[in-house]
Structure 1
């Protein structure tokens, strides 16, 4: 089994993805408004040799019928939620190899503004930046906050395709590789013949101008996407270099992985041109007993009401209002389709009852997989899961901050390295080279974005 990729999944807010750990005396997640809190975490991840820090984000929040969900406010779950973009320059300054994947939505601001910001960050991080492309999370409340109507799920992806095209046009088409000259004696900053106005007229977005700064180390940030709905897989096949999927039953994850790889092939790309990463929570300790005690402690801080609030914020479905003895009758949503499909009957298997959905979500959270045990037991579970699913790595989520990470680094990472499941040292200078060490810092020729390149 080849070395896997390991990133850290974080919100700029309190708690992990299961329960409300902020109330524990040893948890520091409520310090999320402190820059020093994030600097300390980033330095820890960098020194441990983890591949990247994935910062999730949404303008939305858990609400139903235009009203805040009390449990969300009371338990700090989904509310509050800060903007990760201002963090990255500070974290890049105190780290050497750690990558940063930032989430922005294709439905909130003009693509040229987003492209410029990511290009600037790619310069400041020396090529360690990735863009997690979302079409909207907690979409109804995010749309209302921005004074807009909620856009239908598949239409959001149509818009996102066009949004990415604008971005690629700017990143790849504005400057040739050798346009920047910096000849002080000749007084020549850049060669005018190699800086180009670009034009894009799409069904949803248009742009005329240039990306007003020279090419960054990667030109285009690493392109990441989350979600496993049918339309989401199609979007991934066309655009993504890495896809983040929820965990859960290995058979379901394996089907999602196959679907993503098939989408890449359908788009004319190699099946292995997309790295698939699964969200997971690792709970470990010096012994198996310690790990399971931590698990029990976590569940004691995870209420059905808090879990239902997060599920409602993501899907728009109020589990507490449904008959607990029946399956979820709804089969589609204009919000988080993946977390609805997770609990629908498939391949001849009956759908779980609403009470079972709620309990599973209370125990495993929005991303679905929890590995518990001693270091050897957790890594055994990792090996079995990878063999059954074909995933390329994991986005590791916290329970306790920083305790979950301290245990991971002390116990699990040495075991992963001893079995050859984690590289001894991070590979590559840029984030793209970290994921694809056989490639270069720039988009490969097999990615459709390559054809936007000026001067090729």
Structure 2
């Protein structure tokens, strides 16, 4: 074991739905997953995460349904497989009100959210949370979502990243280049709240977006929320290397994770950014207890509630393959389509041949990521191996049972990680960016593309130039 004491970043991974990464376990007597509509579920979860000094709650989202399995959404609806699903933004203000430090990573797709409106929503949350917000940038992958916003089908995979590049330019211009530092005066004596000479229309006109005006919201504590990104395809890696400050990958083992993390960090260097400018998380589900034997019994109990139908519905959406049409014992092969391209690639990364039957058996709990079962020492050993040998910086920890899986991790594993010097006992001061990256002022680094627009204000004219002096009424 390496003597490195790199701190392990811990995010809880959740979604505003009943069945997220585990299929069927919502039926377990201890599960509170069906309370996803209850605000107290979310505020209690946030309080619990802060008790464990978790870095953030990472909230996934989809805006379509899993209707590939048997050509219908019936299986997904039956098992509540990420449907019904609420808007991920709704509970964040309430969670921030009952906590002081834990961050909130919220997912929004560039293909379905206009940048002018999303910029305001995220700035608003950054204000209300005092700078504890991250935006998980995704390009979406469900045909059902595309159809319901008026497209014939999903935008092709790589074109979605072309659109995303322009999207980021627009949103950085709004966040960084529209309102200068010192533009908001709050001067009651002179009656000037904002200096209009320091507010600039962004005058953006591109292939996908036309946004002539200025940002509706004054600069928030971070200006640009921390940028998370989920998607490790070739196009996704290049995008993350330019924009992401934290990236979410899928891997089946530390060995396969190392291949990905080395490649991603090389891309970051090629983009002219510092080695520590991007943190990498991988997905794990941890089932733990006071001993290895207790954890194993818990795992077996949870598996008795697992739903093959729900898991095949989820994997149908993630892969674009109808598992009902496949021989359950024939090895799965990755195919070129516009779903989550890395799903089957990640399964095959270690050379193992996965079948439909194996996916159901091994991923009905855990979903897209592996499951670690054991007492505190065994789990801590495995997490350290992923960090030291796999090159990841931390984890998105999914639950088998909510909130019990989170509470178990905090009660059993966090103390062990702290004894080893691998988990924080409290929080650094400042915004989420300051806590996560150690940067001092809470703003994006000079090497980040957002900073370009802060240093080069967009418009050749300000709002005052465009509209003339304010009328004076005597």
TM-score (norm 2): 0.91
Q: Is the 8 A contact 2:241 2:268 kept in 1?
A: yes
Aligned to 1:285: 289
1:305 is paired with a residue of what secondary structure? helix
Q: Is the 8 A contact 2:183 2:196 kept in 1?
A: yes
Would you say 1:159 and 2:163 are equivalent positions? yes
**Distance in 1 of aligned mates of 2:439 and 2:430:** 12
**Distance in 1 of aligned mates of 2:77 and 2:225:** 35
Q: Is the 8 A contact 2:75 2:309 kept in 1?
A: yes
2:164 is paired with a residue of what secondary structure? helix
**Distance in 2 of aligned mates of 1:236 and 1:342:** 18
Aligned to 1:301: 305
TM-score (norm 1): 0.95
1:114-129 map, 5 Å: 114-129=118-133
Would you say 1:140 and 2:143 are equivalent positions? yes
**Distance in 2 of aligned mates of 1:66 and 1:147:** 23
**Distance in 2 of aligned mates of 1:61 and 1:269:** 37
- Shift of residue 385, structure 1, vs aligned partner: 1.7
Q: Which has the larger radius of gyration?
A: 2
Aligned to 1:273: 277
**Distance in 2 of aligned mates of 1:98 and 1:389:** 26
Aligned to 1:431: 432
Q: Is the 8 A contact 1:331 1:344 kept in 2?
A: no
1:11-26 map, 5 Å: 11-26=15-30
- Shift of residue 225, structure 1, vs aligned partner: 0.3
Q: Is the 8 A contact 2:69 2:312 kept in 1?
A: no
Would you say 1:364 and 2:356 are equivalent positions? no
Q: Is the 8 A contact 2:366 2:398 kept in 1?
A: no
2:193 is paired with a residue of what secondary structure? strand
Residue segments in structure 2 that go unaligned for 5+ positions in a row: 458-474
Q: Report Cα offsets for 1:246-271 as digits up to 9, x if no partner.
A: 23122221111112212211211123
Aligned to 2:423: 422
Would you say 1:93 and 2:132 are equivalent positions? no
Aligned to 2:222: 218
User: Closer, same or farther in 2 for the Cα pair 1:178/1:318, shift >3 Å?
Assistant: same
Aligned to 1:261: 265
Moved more, 213-222 or 14-23: 14-23
Would you say 1:379 and 2:380 are equivalent positions? yes
- Shift of residue 351, structure 1, vs aligned partner: 4.2
- Shift of residue 48, structure 1, vs aligned partner: 2.4
**Distance in 1 of aligned mates of 2:207 and 2:275:** 29
Q: Is the 8 A contact 1:175 1:454 kept in 2?
A: no
**Distance in 2 of aligned mates of 1:386 and 1:43:** 26
Would you say 1:49 and 2:53 are equivalent positions? yes
- Shift of residue 57, structure 1, vs aligned partner: 0.6
**Distance in 1 of aligned mates of 2:200 and 2:107:** 29
**Distance in 1 of aligned mates of 2:391 and 2:69:** 40
